[in-house]
Amino acid sequence: MTLTEKILARAAGKTRAQAGDNVWVQADVLMTHDVCGPGTIGVFKREFGKNAKVWDTNKIVIIPDHYIFTEDKMANRNVDTLRQFVAEQKLPYYYDVGTDKYKGVCHIALPEEGHTRPGEILFGTDSHTCTAGAFGEFATGIGNTDAGFVMGTGKLLLKVPETMHFRLEGNLQPGVMAKDVILHCIGEIGFDGATYRAMQFDGPGVTSLNIDDRMTIANMAIEAGGKNSIFEFDSQTQAYVDYRCKLNGTKPAYEPVTRDKDEKFVYDLTVDLSKLEPTVACHPDPGQRKLARELGDVKLDRAYIGSCTGGKTSDFLEFARVLRGKRVAIDTFGVPATPEIVHDLQTARWGSETVWEILVAAGVQMTENAGCAACLGGPVDTFGRMNSPMKCISATNRNFPGRMGHKESQVFLASPATVAASALTGKITDPRDYLPN
């Protein structure tokens, strides 16, 4: 069996599962947020009763993160709905905005808080829930109706997906990042090339990728239509998960799955990381792949770094490495994914300055309000939102028309390094020309 098949078989209480099987699986964690949480709660109460109790209070995680730093009354009402439900159900894992418990973007907060564990099943009411596949678990996004059912029963009926195999070899060259890896893969198969399939990443090249890198790659499986993405468990995974579970007092035990020698895949692609170049997904979808060096005539109005894909500490460090001592030429916005990352950037020093100070000195408009911000557009007062037609290069994950605001705007997806170099020139730029010696 493939890694995905093994996890689903175990969650279904079976010794074996193969692609195409329909299986009832037991959930380990259900996550929802302020956009889909109210709808999920509505389905749960409609189907199970207004006074019904959730199946397991310790397995539900609620993280407001999308439309929260706004004056929009409807968005604020959504958070109020979450608060009321959490109080009714006495849910321990609620990370409320405006409190010390607030954690930022759900897909980064989940692993930070010890809710992503190898071999487990994670369902989330957000398509980028597949990010957690970086930790060797089955993680996928589901709709409000399915989530309402899981909330009441802890189970869900799934069709076991076919698995596509991506074998990584070699090491990334300077100026090339994990974002370039996944943009290359999506460019190879198309933005619908993995529809309802698992994307399995393994091979010797994985050892050179840190956990942030793996999360970036797993995060964008959905941009190829994937059901889930998964990396095999290794010592890096174990070290991260063990530390986070101990730090936050979450469930310490887990059981990873290991690879079989005779796995059956529907697709095989070997990617030599050493041969990849800075890559850009052009408007209007993530499959429109081109190399950054081929796009020097594309003038930009804005640059943006943030989100579950590009708002991690390592993303901002590479961003700052390119910008240090220079000045951006266009409006550039920076949104750390979580408060922990804000703290990292404001305390980590490069010489006499913090990373945060380096970015501000370069002209980057930084915010301490960690969250999704303009990645999903949001209300008109959302930080960094494009409220008029413009061209933006972004370290986020999706670039369909209207994704970051105005429906006539254009979004070009790239790595933090490419976004930084492009911010310096005002046009799409290969970051290898701007790396420090």
Contact 319, 303 (CB under 8 A): no
Alpha carbons within 13 angstroms on the beta-carbon side of residue 339 total: 12
Tell me the C-alpha distance between 98 and 428, whole Å: 37
Tell me the pLDDT tens digit for each residue of 65-75.
999 999 999 99
* Angle (CA) 245 247 249, round 5°: 60
Report pTM: 0.98
**Using CA of residue 426, residue 430, residue 434, residue 436, what is the dihedral sign?**
positive
Report residue 380 as tokens. Answer: 């008109």
Interhelix angle 73-89/37-48, nearest 10 degrees: 50
Contact 318, 310 (CB under 8 A): no
Q: What is the mean pLDDT of residues 162-180?
A: 98
Tell me the pLDDT tens digit for each residue of 349-374.
999 999 999 999 999 999 999 999 99
Does pLDDT of 437 surpass 90?
no
Task: Report DSSP letters for 217-229, one per residue.
Answer: HHHGGGGGT-SEE
Task: Report DSSP letters for 107-147, one per residue.
Answer: HHHHHHTT---TT-EEEESSGGGGGGGGGTSEEEE--HHHH
Tell me the pLDDT tens digit for each residue of 207-228.
999 999 999 999 999 999 999 9
Quote the pLDDT of residue 436.
87
Quote the pLDDT of residue 59.
98
Tell me the C-alpha distance between 330 and 160, whole Å: 46
- Can you tell me which residue has the tokens 């990292």? 344
The length of the chain in residues reads 437
User: Considering the chain, what percentage of its residues have pLDDT values greater than 90?
Assistant: 100
Task: Report DSSP letters for 247-276, one per residue.
Answer: HHT-----------TT---SEEEEEEGGG-
Does pLDDT of 254 surpass 90?
yes
Contacting residues for 14 by C-beta, under 8 A, at least 6 apart: 23
CA-based nearest residue to 145, from 227, 41, 248? 41
Quote the pLDDT of residue 248.
95
Q: What is the mean pLDDT of residues 289-302?
A: 98
Q: What is the mean pLDDT of residues 37-41?
A: 98
Which one-letter amino acid corresponds to residue 199? M
Which residue segments constitute the domains of the chain, with CATH numbers given? 4-8+17-255+264-270 (3.30.499.10), 280-433 (3.30.499.10)
325 Rama class: left (phi>0) / alpha (psi -120 to 50) / beta: left
Tell me the pLDDT tens digit for each residue of 111-141.
999 999 999 999 999 999 999 999 999 999 9
